[in-house]
Amino acid sequence: MPETVEQPVPDARARAVGERAALILNGSAGTIAAMPDPAGRLAAILAEAGYHLVVPPQPDLPVDAQLDAALALQPAVIFVAGGDGTLRAAAGRIAASGAVLAVLPGGTMNRLAARLGLPPEPEAAARSLAGAAVDRLPMAEANGEPFLYQAVIGRTSRLVRFREMQRGAGILGWLPLLHAAIRLALRRPGRSVRLRCDDGPHRADVVVVTVPALDTAPLLRIEAVRRRGLVGTIGQAWCWVRGRLGAASAVVSCERARLAVRGSAGHLRVTLDGELHLMAAPLRIRLRPDGLRVLRPAGERQAGS
């Protein structure tokens, strides 16, 4: 039977407008870099939406330095404009500070922003957060490292880099992913990743762990994939990029709140929200159902209630 976890209690504080706020920008993120004066334009929109920025945005500084300056002034809300990797890097520190994270999509995939019901453009997203509600966002940790959407464990995790390259590139953008998938498929399966799902132990080539969306059961979705030749591996990759990996052949799925993943070596290749890491085995993953407070457009909060 799947593990069960008590549902988190919704945050009692309903509104964030009028709070002291800060704006962090990843100036090299695709959408942000393409904007003229992104700091000035987003700051003006947030002011119109009722937020008081306690420090002028400094997009020329590294994200960590911007976050240091913001946290020193203890804002109630921290807006972060960037991609999923930028949000992941900031999430742990924001959660520890007690501040509320406000997402402004600026990267290639922006999967977290989509989950929160935000428009894909940063300026439209900023406008949508006028009158926003505070909600609780599930997050997970892999050996203490936070991630907000998905971890990919095993050699196949390298394909995440090619999937990110596809975004906005049209049909030609799929070619690097297809080439990488074919090269991987031609290699002999190693079955080097080991884990336990509900029906017992499993060996796999890659494991995909997805954080639950808001308003769903607080359990990690785990998909253990065993490669099956050239055609089978390409089919699995195609299902994965479409978000339907569980429907592919040779995939075992389960839901758990905690997971330990072991490998044949002392380290595992792991992608956390699109960023590649080399992490010590065993990799211990746990879900924090109420790990992070976030701003969510008020209409989205009502629809999910």
| pLDDT band of 276, cuts 50, 70, 90 | confident
What is d(CA 208, CA 70) in angstroms, rounded to the nearest whole number?
34
pLDDT single digits (tens) 102-157: 999 988 778 899 999 999 999 999 999 998 989 999 999 999 999 999 999 987 65
pLDDT single digits (tens) 277-301: 999 999 999 999 988 999 999 876 5
| pLDDT band of 303, cuts 50, 70, 90 | very low
pLDDT for the residue numbered 241 = 67
Q: Is 80 exceeded by the pLDDT of residue 267? A: yes
pLDDT for the residue numbered 1 = 46
pTM above 0.85, yes or no: no
What is d(CA 146, CA 143) in angstroms, rounded to the nearest whole number?
8
pLDDT single digits (tens) 208-254: 999 999 889 999 999 998 876 666 666 766 776 667 777 677 788 99
pLDDT for the residue numbered 10 = 40
Q: Which residue has the higher pLDDT, 198 or 255?
A: 255
Average pLDDT over residues 36-58: 94
Domains assigned to the chain: 20-130 (3.40.50.10330), 147-289 (2.60.200.40)
- Residues near 100 by Cβ (< 8 Å), separated by ≥ 6? 16, 19, 76, 77, 78, 94, 134, 293, 294, 295
pLDDT single digits (tens) 179-214: 665 665 556 655 689 998 877 888 898 899 999 998
Residue 245 burial (CB < 10 Å; 0-12/13-18/19+)? buried
A 10 A CB-CB count for 186 gives 10
- Find residue 142's DSSP bridge partners: 145, 285
